[in-house]
Amino acid sequence: MSQAIAEPKQAGQDLSQVAAAVDALVHQGRIAMQAFEGADQARVDEAVTALAWSIYSPDHAQELAETAVRDTGLGNVPDKVIKNTRKTFGTLRDLMRERTVGIIEEDKAKGLVKYAKPVGVVGAITPSTNPAATPVNKAMMAVKGGNAVIVAPSPSGYATTSKTVDYMRAELKKIGLPEDLVQILPSPVTREMTTLLMKAVDLVVVTGSQNNVRGAYSSGTPAIGVGAGNVPVIIDADADFDDAAQKICASKIFDNATSCSSENSVTIVEDCYEDAMAALERAGGYRATPEECTRIRDTLWKDGKLNRHIIARDPDIFADLCGLPEAAKSAKFFMVEDQGIGPDYPFSGEKLSLALTIYKAKDFQAAKDHVQAILDYQGAGHSVGIHTNTPDHARSLAEDLKVVRVLVNQAHTFGNGGSFNNGLNFTLSMGCGTWAGNSISENLNWRHFINITHLVTEIGEDKPSEEELFGAHWNRYGK
């Protein structure tokens, strides 16, 4: 999340007691890792599969979705169930195809053999938007590398995450593995406790609050943080407008727009603006009047912060709270047409709601410049989408924009974090590169949870002549 949202107030704690509790968890994690250390690849994969089943089980997927929506007030149950199962299934598919025990790569030509080793105890900071799916996702990746993990959940999602961790531990116990491979901070989770965890573990992986991301990078512990979302999407002049509109709708409304990959704005090329808008209306979009846009803005933000009482709500509740007419209550999402970008134009930022900002651009080049300006304001490095039948336009975005992912003719929420129809790794944590102050520029995956030992043997000499390396330089500039 990039927008400030107030979490419930937390009671003060005795720091010495908190530190002792954190240290005890880390110690227990190390003991569990020692017991797990001799596991072969098949045994590691059994553990990962057990963790996946803990949330993929239909009863658990439903229960955890219901608990999450009840406690956080974010999203909706049917989509949370899909998120709990689809992301888990896709991640399990990815992990079962990889080797993380012993030799994982051998290059005889270079005389290199690579051995995977655990990184240690992992501190997993998880958000209120995905209090079940994200902890399991990170635990699967961590245990795949032979690590233990300690989850630090969002306070508002604690009940869901605690139950999720209980289910993971029960599945580990069922197959005869140490339950302490997966643990959770005790309640109430405070900023001080999370900070101490970051300092005590061997690797910190943060999804959610950008304050936590910055805290992880300044903790002194190796850290992976991911950037804030604010996805802009282009509808090009030659796009299939109905296909684009249906995909944008499906993606925007999924879990009531809680995903960091949810479309936050659509920039439409001028030549097709009204045709594209008509398609978006056919797909379920409500085109707000200028007066209604003002009402939506004043309801969605209070004192410069997103209003917790309206974000991630169902469309009829959103329409009612914003004072929109009866016709709007049957819409699926709400289109607010705007022009500016920046702090004075809040619709240009992440909204975590069913409000979708619409912009008009003179042509493709103007649209391209516009989406970069949006990312420069908020969502740096994250991702951008385009609906087009001109492949060169998609390549142009990839070549020139400061962004990690460019999705072409896809429903962004369902493609950005991995899909069965594209080659991205399944994940709930999207790295955004140095543009967002992140250490990775790809989807978080198992590779980030292993160290690699290189066995190096001699090969035949691979030393070119001076002429081969400097010849072109000498010929052009002299010696």
Catalytic residues: 260
Q: What is the DSSP letter of 6?
A: P
Q: What distance in Å separates the CA atoms of residue 357 and residue 233, rounded to the nearest whole number?
A: 10
Tokens 């993380």 sit on residue: 100
**Cα distance between residue 29 and residue 179, in whole Å:** 9
How far apart CA 430 and CA 413 sit, in angstroms, is 12
Nearest CA-CA partner of 411 in 195, 176, 250: 250
158 touches 189 (CB < 8 A): yes
Distance from the Cα of residue 137 to its chain's centroid: 11
Encoded tokens for 102 = 């012993």
DSSP 136-173: HHHHHHHHHTT-EEEEE--GGGHHHHHHHHHHHHHHHH
CB distance 257 to 1 below 8 Å: no
What are 235's strand-pairing partners? 268, 387
Neighbours of 428 (CB within 10 A): 27
**Parallel, antiparallel, or unpaired: how do β-strands 148-152 and 263-269 relate?**
unpaired
181 within 8 A of 6, measured Cβ to Cβ: no
